Amino acid sequence: MSGGVDSSVAAALLKQDGYEVVGCFMRLGSPGESLTDGEFCNPDDVKIGHQGCCSINDAKDAQLVAAKLDIPFYVLNFKKDFGRIIDYFVDEYNAGRTPNPCVRCNDWLKFGKLAQYAKSIDAQYVATGHYARVETINNIPALLRGLDHDKDQSYVLFGSPLSELGHMMLPVGRYLKPQIRQLAEEFDLPVFNKPDSQEICFVPDMNYAGVVEKQTEGGFSFGQIKDLDGNTVGQHQGHQNFTIGQRRGVGVALGYPIYVVDKNPDSNTITVGPREALASNACIATQSNWLIDPPTDLIPCQAKIRYNSSPVPARVKPLPGNQLEVHFDEPQFAVAPGQAVVCYHDDRVITGAWINKAI
């Protein structure tokens, strides 16, 4: 229970359906927090910086909802594990990639560490407020997009192993967001009109580079901005300040719209060029997770190359070394290493992996 309306309604729906529900709040160790060790959360003990979905107010809201639903409420100390996510975030940016910490949080914490905790208390399922669905197809658990495609979060759950899907419950995935708000009001939950969290919990003010620089020994270094011919056209204050496909804030004028089309962390250079230089016909991705039997050759699918993009027609096949190859029917722009590519058959997630390079 993160203290938001979605996880709160998920708990209420499960209790209404007759489940024995236990509410858990993840102590992540945000700056300024001083949660007491132990299990029960006294609101006076919660001092988390107001950042994203795990702030002091969120902890209090989660406890208020648990009290309203008359369910146990526990705080789990995931501070050490959360440090792994921050390290990953920093390392990826320093390596010239564009990370997605929310996917890692789901894999490592919500359906990793939290799943282990669930087993330790003999809980059969881990439930969250994600807009996605788990259903059984041909006697096999399947991960599906949420009915509200505008809020769908199946992309960030692609890393859940098939063996764990049967122990995952996503009650809000069968509703539209306005219905969830209405249910929260009908359940008389104090968070029924609480705004959705819009930021990464450890990135205040959306300043990604600031977090990375603070966590990077020696900080950032000045480097060169080059054009597609290798000519130096400007200077930057660290390649970590840029992402593939970025247009604003490059600080260079070439007489036509320019985008960041490449980054080289070894030489600390970024390359800029026109939008067409961002087009890719395919990508290679690593650490694949198949939620169906892997095919032997290319099969049709719809692929998403970032969380806020729409699925596009493509074909996918596995490669040796736990890799996969995705071919797009039409060229895609700004296929960024470090992001995930997730493949669907209709609404069903069939596989996903981390983009290593665009082709």
Q: Write out the catalytic residue numbers.
A: 105, 201
Distance between CA atoms of residues 313 and 320, nearest Å? 23
The conformation of residue 112, written as its DSSP 8-state character, comes to I
Q: In this structure, what are the phi and psi dihedrals at residue 11, rounded to the nearest 5 degrees?
A: -65, -40
Distance between CA atoms of residues 169 and 22, nearest Å? 13
Distance between CA atoms of residues 223 and 238, nearest Å? 6
88, 91, 96, 102: CA torsion to nearest 10? 20
The conformation of residue 113, written as its DSSP 8-state character, comes to I
In this structure, what token pair is assigned to residue 45?
């003990």
The conformation of residue 226, written as its DSSP 8-state character, comes to E
Sign for the CA dihedral angle at 227, 232, 235, 236 comes to: positive
Q: Are 33 and 152 in contact (CB under 8 A)?
A: no
Distance between CA atoms of residues 62 and 54, nearest Å? 10
